[in-house]
């Protein structure tokens, strides 16, 4: 039978002691019957609820209803009982929680594994290529993605109305028409502005490699994206020659793609280098033969060569913009190069569609986990 708080008529110490003992005995019996969360909540509410809980009833019936001469003795006894009831209810809480946890958890099952993410293949390829140049003594340099026209074009020998500006298909920040052209903001079309920024801060000699995100207004397809990644490099010192450029890039390509890779330099044009060249590597798919078994090799278009980057000797006009910081074109020379990190990732990992890198398909990205 459930315990109910009796109304006292005898407030002698012995009567109070007897009533308290009966209350504690009933509480202990009810606590032992609690085995789950629902039972624990009902038990707790029954004894400790502020409005109708048994502890509240004891305070109202035993303390407030006590005669004036017995209030002190009754108050002492009720306070002692209150502490004891709270201890037993909390004890039931611990016991029940332990039992319900044991019911919910099967300790014989293996633990839950936290999934570990994988480095994105483009970032992995970029990091690996940068590491190749770091082992040759190059430092990593970075700069802002939102650039000014001055650093992105003018200081790199792209004067206003230069036809090469049209090939960049630049994304300009809105609301810049009132500014002078060199101060207008844009999303950088290459990481070359970091070369100028670095030369403004550091005197020669310098050797830097510059990874980063760039933007151009290109429609997305299997080989183009409005957002992609570049890795550029710059070396400036006294008596640097085109031979140094060829040796550096030949070593880098062999380190990244394998020692069997061959390199070929073919004349080209870039506004910020003179002379300029495009670097081709022997096709890593067909080994430079132009064929895959009896079929033609599509990645190299049966030529056996794949264009991988642009490079050249730094144009003296570029040094003129940082001449006051020790880059007198009569005393120093240098070379620069730039490659697409997305492109070298496609070649190294055998991916035939650039958009796969950016769709976020977990099934594709898990291949690099």
Do 95 and 184 have their domain in common?
no
Do 155 and 296 have their domain in common?
yes
Do 76 and 206 have their domain in common?
no
Domain range for 90:
13-104
pLDDT tens readout for residues 204-242: 999 999 999 999 988 888 888 999 999 999 999 999 999
Domain boundary among 104, 129, 156: 104
Do 265 and 197 have their domain in common?
yes
Do 181 and 242 have their domain in common?
yes
CA distance 41 to 93: 9
CA distance 67 to 76: 14
What per-residue confidence (pLDDT) applies to 212? 96
Q: Is residue 116 part of a domain?
A: no
3 state SS of 8: coil
In the predicted structure, residue 168 carries a pLDDT above the cut 70: no
pLDDT tens readout for residues 49-62: 887 888 888 888 87
Do 91 and 192 have their domain in common?
no
Q: What does the pLDDT average to over 319-335? A: 95
Q: Is residue 158 part of a domain?
A: yes
Do 177 and 319 have their domain in common?
yes
Do 331 and 215 have their domain in common?
yes
What per-residue confidence (pLDDT) applies to 112? 78
The encoded tokens of residue 298 equal: 């599509």
What per-residue confidence (pLDDT) applies to 363? 86
What per-residue confidence (pLDDT) applies to 31? 81
Q: What is the CATH number of the domain that holds 279?
A: 3.30.930.10
In the predicted structure, residue 23 carries a pLDDT above the cut 70: yes
CA distance 50 to 319: 82
pLDDT tens readout for residues 70-111: 888 888 887 888 888 888 787 765 444 444 444 556 677 777
Do 228 and 351 have their domain in common?
yes
For all residues of the chain together, what is the average pLDDT? Answer: 87
Do 232 and 156 have their domain in common?
yes
Q: Is residue 109 part of a domain?
A: no
The encoded tokens of residue 100 equal: 């319900």
Domain boundary among 104, 131, 164: 104
Q: Is residue 245 part of a domain?
A: yes
What per-residue confidence (pLDDT) applies to 99? 47
Do 267 and 349 have their domain in common?
yes
Q: Name the domain count of the chain.
A: 2
Listed in sequence order, the DSSP H helices in the chain are: 13-32, 37-48, 54-58, 71-104, 121-134, 149-152, 163-168, 193-201, 242-257, 316-320, 341-349, 362-365
What per-residue confidence (pLDDT) applies to 102? 45
What per-residue confidence (pLDDT) applies to 96? 47
CA distance 8 to 18: 11
Exposed e or buried b per residue across 38-59, where buried means at least 16 C-beta atoms within 10 angstroms of its C-beta: eebeebbebbbeeeebbbebbb
For residue 151, give the H/E element and its range.
helix 149-152
What per-residue confidence (pLDDT) applies to 93? 57
Q: Is residue 311 part of a domain?
A: yes
Q: Is residue 148 part of a domain?
A: yes
CA distance 131 to 252: 10
The encoded tokens of residue 169 equal: 């298909």
CA distances to 109, 130, 152, 358 from 144, in Å? 50, 19, 11, 22
The whole model's pTM is what?
Answer: 0.67
Do 78 and 147 have their domain in common?
no
pLDDT tens readout for residues 244-294: 999 999 999 999 999 999 999 999 999 899 999 999 999 988 888 888 888
Domain boundary among 104, 132, 151: 104
Q: Is residue 150 part of a domain?
A: yes
In the predicted structure, residue 194 carries a pLDDT above the cut 70: yes
Q: Is residue 291 part of a domain?
A: yes
Chain-centroid distance, C-alpha 365: 15
């Amino acid at each position: 039978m459930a315990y109910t708080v009796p109304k006292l008529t005898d407030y002698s110490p012995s009567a109070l002691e007897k009533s308290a003992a009966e209350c504690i005995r009933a509480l202990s019996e009810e606590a032992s019957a609690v085995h789950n969360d629902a039972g624990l909540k009902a038990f707790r509410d029954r004894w400790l609820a502020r409005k109708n809980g048994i502890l509240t009833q004891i305070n109202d019936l035993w303390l407030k209803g006590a005669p004036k001469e017995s209030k002190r003795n009754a108050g002492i006894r009720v306070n002692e009982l209150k502490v004891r009831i709270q201890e037993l209810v909390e004890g039931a809480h611990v016991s029940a929680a332990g039992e319900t946890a044991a019911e919910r958890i099967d300790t014989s099952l293996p633990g839950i594994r936290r999934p570990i993410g994988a480095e994105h293949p483009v970032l992995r390829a970029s990091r690996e290529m940068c590491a190749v140049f770091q082992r040759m003594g190059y430092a990593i340099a970075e700069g802002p993605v939102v650039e000014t026209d001055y650093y992105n074009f003018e200081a790199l020998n792209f004067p206003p109305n230069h036809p090469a500006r049209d090939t960049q298909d630049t994304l300009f920040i809105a609301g810049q028409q009132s500014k002078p052209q060199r101060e207008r903001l844009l999303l950088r079309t290459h990481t070359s502005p970091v070369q100028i920024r670095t030369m403004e801060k550091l005197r020669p000699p310098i050797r830097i490699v510059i990874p980063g995100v760039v933007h151009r207004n290109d429609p997305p397809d299997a080989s183009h994206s409005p957002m992609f990644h570049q890795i550029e490099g710059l070396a400036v010192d006294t008596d640097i020659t085109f031979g140094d450029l060829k040796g550096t890039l030949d070593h880098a390509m062999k380190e990244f793609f394998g020692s069997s890779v061959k390199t070929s330099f073919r004349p080209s044009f870039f506004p910020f280098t003179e002379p300029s060249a495009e670097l081709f590597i022997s096709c890593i798919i067909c080994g430079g033969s132009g064929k895959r078994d009896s079929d033609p090799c599509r990645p190299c278009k049966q030529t056996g060569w794949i264009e991988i980057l642009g490079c050249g000797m730094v144009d003296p006009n570029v040094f003129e913009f940082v001449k006051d910081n020790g880059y007198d074109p009569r005393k120093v020379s240098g070379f620069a190069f730039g490659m697409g990190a997305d492109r070298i990732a496609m070649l190294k990992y055998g991916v035939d569609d650039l958009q796969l890198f950016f769709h976020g398909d977990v099934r594709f990205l898990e291949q690099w986990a």
